[in-house]
Amino acid sequence: MEEKLLKVHDVMKKLNVSRRTIYYWINNGILKTVRIGNMYRFHPEDIEQLIASNRNVIAGSRKKILAIDDDILVRESIKLLLSRAGYSVTVVPDGKTAVMLARQEDFDLTLTDMRMPEMDGLETLKAIRKARQEAGKKLNPEIIMTAYEDSNAKTEAEIIGVRKFLMKPFELDYFFDVIQKNIS
């Protein structure tokens, strides 16, 4: 009896992930493929094995990201992009709200803009760290995004242990690669 190969759409539905995530996994050797012409197909047992052995990779929808940016268009874009990639994304407009939320909830990654009114990205991350430590919660990886070159801010971010300092605008593939590599 011939085995029925799965299409990309079938795998997207089965794993509850986006097409972009499927192609990221293919390009990084996480997902085995069978090429038929110009189309990718997958053996069902390979998908089952991926689920069994890589629950954290598949569980992108369970990975929670806190994104902080004062620009509503950036916030909504990040939320849309990361949600489509299978992450649970909470977006907030400022550091004060982020600190309050981080005190109450656990996130697997914090993504913040650098230049914001009242509290900049570094001040926000420091306040989040303090709030989480006071609440007895673990610290999570942090990424700063900025459209402005500021060597002092970048140096300070490196000193305090921020995982990545992303310059806007960035290529989407690079953005997703940074998220995937730095999320806990």
The segment(s) of the chain belonging to CATH 3.40.50.2300 are 63-182
Mean pLDDT by 10 residues, the chain (184 residues): 80 79 81 89 86 55 88 93 87 97 94 96 97 91 94 94 93 90 86
**Token pair recorded at residue 106:** 């656990």
The CATH class given to the 63-182 domain equals alpha beta
In the chain the first and final C-alpha atoms are separated, in Å, by 42
From the candidate CATH numbers 1.20.120, 2.30.30, 3.10.50, 1.10.1660, the one assigned to the domain spanning 6-59: 1.10.1660
pTM: 0.70
Name every residue whose Cβ is closer than 8 Å to that of residue 154 and which is 6 or more positions away in sequence. Answer: 165
Q: Are 101 and 66 in contact (CB under 8 A)?
A: yes
